[in-house]
Structure 1
Amino acid sequence: MAARPRIKDVAEYAGVSPKTVSNVINNFEHVSDRTRAAVQEAIDALGYRVNVAGRQLRQGRTGMITLAVPELDVAYFAELAKHVIAEADRLGRTVLIHQTGASRESELAALHGFDTQFSDGVILSPIALRPRDLATRDRRLPVVLLGERPADGGTDHVGIDNVRAAREATEHLLSRGRTRIAVVGGAVRGRQGTDRLRTEGYREALTAAGLPFDAGLVLPVGAYHWQDGARAAAELLDRTPPPDALLCLNDHLALGALRALHERGRTVPGDLDVTGFDDIEASRFSVPSLTTVAPDKREIARSAVNLLLERIDAPDAAMRDEIAGHRIIVRESTGG
């Protein structure tokens, strides 16, 4: 078997020094276009590949990062994990998956580096963390938060504009003539999590439309699963008067609600409109297909992985807050 080409071999082929080859590989700016082209030609001709593992070992790193999410059987997190793995692989990193079960103890373990002997940093989607948990975390471990952020500042964060997204979804329902819109999974009090932010966006849309806010139409749920959406929809149908639309704060709740409405003989979008959040794959195949807020999961994953790698390389850099895009996908459940 032929020996694997080394930087020295590339340098000899291109007629430059090994240091110049290293500068080209690391994309340093002060290399002429002619020299860069010669080195690239040598790399292609010899089939040279960067020894990522060796570089990481020299830097005292493992080349692995951890993704900690609440539940892998919730489709949003499974789809997000797929994109994180793809982006990390593109950058020569391996992803360890940790399921926290939305447990504060498990999230704290991830935040304080439960597997630092294996991982260079953590991307964490927190549910149960409290503001003081972030204030007292071990700053030596690079961390990027996804989605919910228990406190402002101090930790890199990637998410969508939840207030704006919920406002736009509510505006879509209002444009359909719906005026008694219930929020399944919403919250009007408690800590400032995703449920509160999305309820705030809903409330902003009502105010802009000149409609009163009725806290009785904001229905919290114990969890964000199919059965919770079904139970919430059934409860709302028993109210007088019942709602004419459901703004469900994830697609699992919305799909469960669709089942409950069907069992109660209510038509969608005839009697009620239904919208969800997350644009999981199942939302395209439900009957009716589900209108939903689609966060750009690929952009979230790309931003999170790149932020984490930048934090690993520059621990003292200023903290960053990245806002990924979203869009409303109108499908049959609101007349699309």
Structure 2
Amino acid sequence: MVRSGAVTLQEVARVAGVSPRTVSNVVNGYQHVAPATRARVQAAIDDLGYRTNAAARSLRTGRTGMLGLVLPALDQPYFAELTRAVVREATAAGFTVVVDQTDGDPDRERELLRGPRGAMFDGVVLSPLALTPADLRAADPDRPVVLLGERPAGTACDHVHIDDVAAAREATAHLLASGRSRVGAIGLQSGPRAQTGMQRAEGFALALADAGLSPEPGLLRHVDAYDRAAGFAAMSDLLDGPDRPDAVFCFSDLLAVGALRACLSRGVRVPQDVALIGFDDVEESRYLTPSLSSVRPDRDAIAREAVGRLLARLGDPTGRAPAQDVLVAHTLAVRESTAVANSG
């Protein structure tokens, strides 16, 4: 029954048998509408072909209905899978997600926080690599920001994350529990963008200390990026050294993918000669040969908490609620690469 010409909100209300206010509540994603009423209104909207006037709504409410998701790299599987989860949560709340990539460039990150491009967003979910606390304090106070990953010290933004130190400690302890003793690490970094690497290195060292061991400098490899090529190069270097490790903790799954390829290219068997474990549990890790053990962050919970914190901020008329630090669970996905019975 879609007709030509503009359909008004009042016509939708008449067909659905509700008030124009109820139609407005459904269109704007207001949660407190009975499911049966919402379904009846949505059916009328679909039947009549009603379309909202986004510009008029923005002028009326001061909202665009869009959330920004700002990530360092969209070609990394972890961020692609996280994006899918965030879009699902935001769509259910009536928002559209605009995804932007920064490549870890501090100027780009600052622009999306306080520049004209960022002004299109009602709120921003941001995974920063290079921002300082001063950058975050200078952000537009009317646009809430939720940080993912490592939060710079001294910031007052909501923060959703896993415990990287504890997760790395568990991954390393798993390698040690399988009888390995010469455990290497790939993924150490230094500099202002190295918070993730530093925390995972800390967890690695703590697990060794728990077992009465110390990190062996000859078994540690720094990388410039968490990608396959860096993992291949670092693992090749370890295997070409005088003392090969019998296990390696890679600080990301992509590093582990490259490390696995380096082992196979040299005839080194995984897990018989070297056990490998990664971090992020991206879908690719389940389909490698051998399948890759990995730290599994609860991506769905990260997305749910991040979008939920933005909605709470947008619904707070005072804007003065204290920042929340939300810790999300992680687990170990144990697979063939560590020679332990497959659990996933």
TM-score class, shorter: 0.7 to 0.9
Describe how 1:72-91 pairs up with structure 2 within 5 A.
72-91=74-93
- Counterpart of 2:325? 321
Which of residues 237, 255, 258 in structure 2 aligns to 1:256? 258
* Offset of residue 139 of structure 1: 2.5
How many angstroms does 1:212 deviate by?
2.1
- With 67-76 and 181-190 compared, the bigger mean Cα shift is at 181-190
- Structure 1 letter corresponding to 2:241: R
Post-superposition CA distance 1:198-253 (Å, at most 9, x none): 11111111111111233443321011110000010011123332211110010110
- Pairing partner for 2:188 from 186, 198, 202: 186
> Contact 2:147–2:157 (CA<8 Å) still a contact in 1?
yes
2:336 is the counterpart of 1:332:
yes
User: Are residues 148 and 298 of structure 1, via their aligned partners in 2, closer, same or farther at CA, if it must alter by over 3 Å?
Assistant: same
More divergent stretch after superposition (156-165 vs 208-217): 208-217
The residue that corresponds to 1:32 in the other structure is none
Question: 1:270 Cα deviation (Å)?
Answer: 0.9
Matching residue of 1:121: 123
> Is 1:137 matched with 2:128?
no
Please report how far the alpha carbon of residue 312 of structure 1 lies from its aligned counterpart in structure 2 after TM superposition: 2.2
Distance verdict in 2 for CA 1:148–1:170, change over 3 Å: same
Structure 2: distance between partners of 1:63 and 1:305: 13
Shift of 1:113: 3.9
Question: Quick check: 2:9–2:20 contact (8 Å CA) kept in 1?
Answer: no
Question: Which residue matches 1:158?
Answer: 160
Q: Deviations over 1:260-293 (max 9, x none)?
A: 1111111100110000011111111111111001
Deviations 1:100-136, CA, capped at 9 Å, x for gaps: 1111111111222442442112111111223332243
Q: Secondary structure at the match of 1:102?
A: coil
1:17-28 to structure 2, matched below 5 A, reads none
Contact 1:150 1:192 in 2 (8 A): no
Whole-angstrom distance in 2 between the partners of 1:207 and 1:181: 12
Distance 1:5 1:209 in 2: 68
Q: Report the CA distance shift for 1:133/1:41 in structure 2 as closer, same or farther (over 3 A).
A: closer
Task: Give per-residue Cα distances to partners, 1:31-76, cap 9 Å, x unaligned.
Answer: xxxxx8xx76555556466979576653210000111111111111
- TM-score for both structures, normalised by structure 2: 0.84
Q: CA contact under 8 A between 2:189 and 2:223: conserved in structure 1?
A: no
1:258 Cα deviation after fit = 0.4
Aligned residue in 2 for 1:107: 109
Secondary structure of 1:311's aligned partner: helix
**1:322 Cα deviation (Å)?**
1.2
- Secondary structure, aligned partner of 2:212: coil
Contact kept in structure 1, 2:146 and 2:159, CA below 8 Å: yes
Give the RMSD, CA atoms, in angstroms: 3.0
Query: Match for 1:285 among 284, 287, 295?
Result: 287
Aligned partner (choices 298, 303, 306) of residue 304 of structure 1: 306
Per the alignment, do residues 290 and 42 of structure 1 end up closer, same or farther by CA in structure 2, a change over 3 Å counting?
closer
Kindly tell me: are residues 138 and 23 of structure 1, through their superposed partners in 2, closer, same or farther at Cα, counting changes over 3 Å? closer
**Equivalent pair of 2:136/2:155 in contact (CA under 8 Å):** no
Runs (4 or more) in structure 1 with deviation over 4 Å come to 1-10, 17-28, 39-57, 187-192
In 2, are the aligned partners of 1:134 and 1:151 still within 8 Å (CA)? Answer: no
State the partner residue of 1:59.
Answer: 61
Post-superposition offset of 1:316: 2.0
Matched with 1:240 is: 242
State the SS of the aligned residue for 1:185. strand
> Could you tell me how far 1:19 is from its partner in structure 2?
7.7
Greater alpha carbon shift after TM alignment, 243-252 vs 52-61 = 52-61
Question: Could you say what secondary structure the match of 1:288 adopts?
Answer: coil
Tell me, in whole angstroms, the C-alpha distance in 2 between the residues paired with 1:59 and 1:286. 50
Secondary structure of the corresponding residue to residue 254 of structure 2: helix
Q: Could you tell me how far apart the structure 1 residues matched to 2:152 and 2:91 are?
A: 29
The whole-number CA distance in structure 1 between the counterparts of 2:67 and 2:191 is 35
Q: Secondary structure at the match of 1:88?
A: helix
Stretch moving more, 282-291 or 185-194: 185-194
- The structure-2 alpha-carbon separation of the partners of 1:328 and 1:72, relative to structure 1 and needing over 3 Å to count, comes to same
> 1:277 & 1:133 partners in 2: Cα distance?
29
Whether contact under 8 Å (1:291, 1:329) holds in the other structure is yes
Question: 1:165 offset after TM fit, Å?
Answer: 0.6
Select which of 216, 220, 224 maps to 1:222.
224
Contact 1:122 1:143 in 2 (8 A): yes
The answer for unaligned runs of 5 or more in structure 2 is none
Alpha-carbon distance in structure 1 between the residues aligned to 2:38 and 2:267: 67
| Deviation, structure 1 residue 257 | 0.4
The percentage of counterpart residues that share the same residue type is: 44
Q: Give yes or no for contact 1:226–1:255 (8 Å, CA) kept in 2.
A: yes
- Residues 1:58 and 1:260: Cα distance change in structure 2 (over 3 Å): same
